[in-house]
Amino acid sequence: MKINNVILKTVTKVVIYIILTLAVYLFLAGHNSPGGGFIGGLVLSTAFVLLFIVYDIETIQKALPFDFKKVAALGAFLAVGTGFGSFVFDVPFLTQAFGYFNLPFFGEVELTTVTIFELGVALVVVGVVVTIILSISEDV
């Protein structure tokens, strides 16, 4: 018997935008208030896990055609890459720099290389969590 769960599916379509917005907000807010790469990545992966639970896995994998193991690898590469980037400027490993830039729309913004490191952390968290959920959900 095919189960009709239209309420859950419709609510997920609305709620997923709030979760994704919160994930991006937490990721960007990490420098000056609670948040950061780890928790932003966790919230982002809960959005993916919610989609995987409500819809079936094949549909979502068609919509999100990432290999999440490769996403985790890319994140680790980014995090280590910002560390090695400091060697170019002849400073110790993982030295982070920041600067103030005038962007056309946002005005004066502080841009840091820590953001790239945090992006790496977030990608690793998303990759690991989704990989765990997908591998334990499969029937052996």
Residues that bind other proteins (CB under 8 A): 1, 7-8, 11, 14-15, 18, 21-22, 25
Residue 4 CA: distances (Å) to CA of 48, 55, 58, 75, 137: 21, 12, 18, 38, 21
Q: Are 73 and 127 in contact (CB under 8 A)?
A: yes
Least Cα distance to 125 among 133, 114, 136 occurs for 133
Closest contact distance (angstroms) between CB of 22 and other proteins is 7
CB 93 → other proteins: shortest distance, Å? 36
Taking the complex as a whole, how short is the minimal distance between the CB of residue 11 and other proteins, in angstroms?
5
Give whichever of 26 and 119 is closer to other proteins, judged by the CB atom: 26
Task: Please give the angle made by the CA atoms of 39, 79 and 103, to the nearest 5 degrees.
Answer: 80
Complex with other proteins: residue 43 or 124, whichever CB lies closer: 43
- CA nearest to 6, candidates 68, 55, 46: 55
Judged by beta carbon, residue 14 or residue 88, the one nearer other proteins is 14
Nearer to other proteins, 29 or 94 (CB): 29
